[in-house]
Amino acid sequence: MEIGQAQLGTRRHAPAHDVSTTAREIPVEVWVPGADNGLDVVAQKSGGPASADRDVQVAFENGRRVLEYVRTEYGRSSFDGKGSPLKLRVHAPDPMTNDPRSNNAFWFNDEQRIWLGDGDGEMFAPLGGGADVIAHEFFHGVIDSEIRLAYSGQSGALHESFSDVLASGIDGNWQIGEDVYTPGVAGDALRDLSKLTWTDWRTFPGGEDEVHAMSEVPSHAAYLIGSKLGAKELRHLWYVALTDHLRSESGFAGARDATISAARAIYGARSTQTQAVMDAWAAVGIDATTPTERPLVPPTAAVAAASTSVAALVPPLVR
């Protein structure tokens, strides 16, 4: 079944989505740090001249590509559904260490900008070179615009997972970061939604990086559903679940309920597609008996404060 735009985001935010706005009409701005730690400056923007900086040029074009992907795939106009500019910060230092060769990318909700590190050349190439990396951070902005999932525990894992799943279609595979991760190693990726390394999510030890590692659980459920329904149908189902059914306090059980509700709304309660959603969640250990939970590990005050504004591609790397 092909899911049309009219079925996407039908309850809460569809009136704000101006799907007639094209990606080219939504401005893209690429910022860089100013000299001597001065104020950031715009290095390239829509309607202006191209920058001489190749990393700026690549990030700008990938930003445009993300906006077009989101418009055609989900019928959405920018991260907020209202056509707001997409702002990228290239050559962004690590916000914790100020390392200019940051191996990370971030969505900063307070700024409503995506920070893109240059990488150290070993773990990452410049992260603006990955369209799916920009798309992943963009969908953190979508999630913050829609429901403001807490960025800790299971809710934080869903923040990461939904961003991965919804971004994955831009490259037409189940991988995230393959174009910029370990540039000296061919064929690998930062994350692969088709792989699940945790055999039992209940025994996960927790820790500061839990949102990224635990995101494998819902992401693999999505992969299993996509294997049955098709990847495009899966992504549309996940988008409807996000915009119409998921709640800000949802954990894994809540995500299961939201995606089942979305499947019932789209395909019918007794459809094979809805059963496929149930089966996929059961395959990763989430079923009707799973309790509705708060995050597994209560965040520290510092993590809780950061979770309100920052979502990262990988756990913070402090060297």
> Looking at the annotation, which residues are catalytic?
137, 212
Residue 143 has, within 13 A of its CA and on its CB side, a CA count of 37
Q: What is the CA radius of gyration of the chain?
A: 19
Instruction: Provide the β-strand partners of residue 310.
Output: 108
In the chain, which residue ranges form alpha helices assigned H by DSSP?
54-74, 131-146, 153-167, 210-213, 216-229, 231-244, 252-267, 272-283, 301-307
Residue 175 · residue 130 · CB < 8 Å: no
Q: Are 319 and 97 in contact (CB under 8 A)?
A: yes
- Residues 286 and 216: their CA atoms lie apart, in Å, by 13
What is the residue type of 241? A
